[in-house]
Amino acid sequence: MKINYLTQGLVKKNYICSLFGHQYVEIKTVNAHFKEFECKNCRMQATNDSVGQKIKLTSELKDINETLFYLYLKRQFLAKFYFEKKEQ
């Protein structure tokens, strides 16, 4: 059985994840395209890339997501107060 380098370090710690894959639950919605997930077995955090693949959530990616989330909130805010009348 071939194990890729990302899961190799987790084999001893959590063999369930290495056998069956991580059981991700959504912990945060960044915007319409990006979400953050956490494995309920080993607590590994992940996010999804632009094509929807799950990737390990590094501190660098976390910073990017924070920025995206801020921009998303800002856009929601602007949409609510400046474009509300247009839609009615």
Interaction site with Zn ion (CB under 5 A): 17, 22, 39, 41-42, 44
C-beta of 23 vs 29, nearer to Zn ion: 23
H/E element, 50: none
Q: How far is the CB of 71 from Zn ion (least distance, A)?
A: 30
C-beta of 16 vs 64, nearer to Zn ion: 16
- φ, ψ of residue 77 to 5 degrees: the values are -60, -50
* Separation CA 18–CA 58 (nearest Å): 20
Q: How far is the CB of 85 from Zn ion (least distance, A)?
A: 47
